[in-house]
Structure 1
Amino acid sequence: MILEAVMLQVKRGMEEEYEEAFRKASNIISSMKGYRSHELQRCMEVKGKYLLLVKWESLEDHTVGFRKSSEYQEWKQQLHHFYDPFPTVEHFERVSIED
């Protein structure tokens, strides 16, 4: 399992519209192969700042399966115009802390 983490900055004054668009777009990502879960967190200190966390079965499920799909084009159309600057996507894997 991998974790996709994205820090998002939404254009000023568009926060409510973005959250509603994100709710609607959530069914797109949740229908994809390898998708496990996702959540959107709103920053308490910085207006318009959000953290998106998505769990995928594999890196390729996100980078190939989702990103190269027609569903991604719909996701992009619904959400990408809200971001300024455009976010950087990073992927993480769990570090075992047990002996």
Structure 2
Amino acid sequence: MLLVKWETLEAHTVDFRGSAEYQEWKALLDHYYDPFPAVEHYELVDENSIL
């Protein structure tokens, strides 16, 4: 599992995934995945609950 914290959902889904760097990264690694990993987004509800 890879956990990444984004400032906003759009920072990941629009800015990152729309970038040339992401396209290059995906092209380099795509053949290692079968199927491509599932991506799930979560929202922090209570900052005090972080361990």
Give the shorter-chain TM-score range.
Answer: 0.7 to 0.9
Give the number of the structure whose residues are more often strand, by fraction.
1
The unaligned stretches of length 5 or more in structure 2 are none
Give the number of the structure whose residues are more often helix, by fraction.
2
Regions of 4+ moved over 3 Å = none
Could you tell me the TM-score, scaled by structure 2's length? 0.77
Amino acid in the other structure paired with 1:72: Y
CA RMSD of aligned residues (A): 1.6
Residue 84 (structure 1) aligns with:
34
Could you tell me the TM-score, scaled by structure 1's length? 0.44
Q: CA deviation at 1:62?
A: 0.4
Higher relative contact order (CA 8 A, sep 6+): 1
- Is 1:94 equivalent to 2:41 in the alignment? no
**1:30-53 per-position Cα deviation (integer Å, ceiling 9, x unaligned):** xxxxxxxxxxxxxxxxxxxxx111
Q: How many residues align?
A: 48
Q: 1:52 to 1:97 in 2, by over 3 A?
A: closer
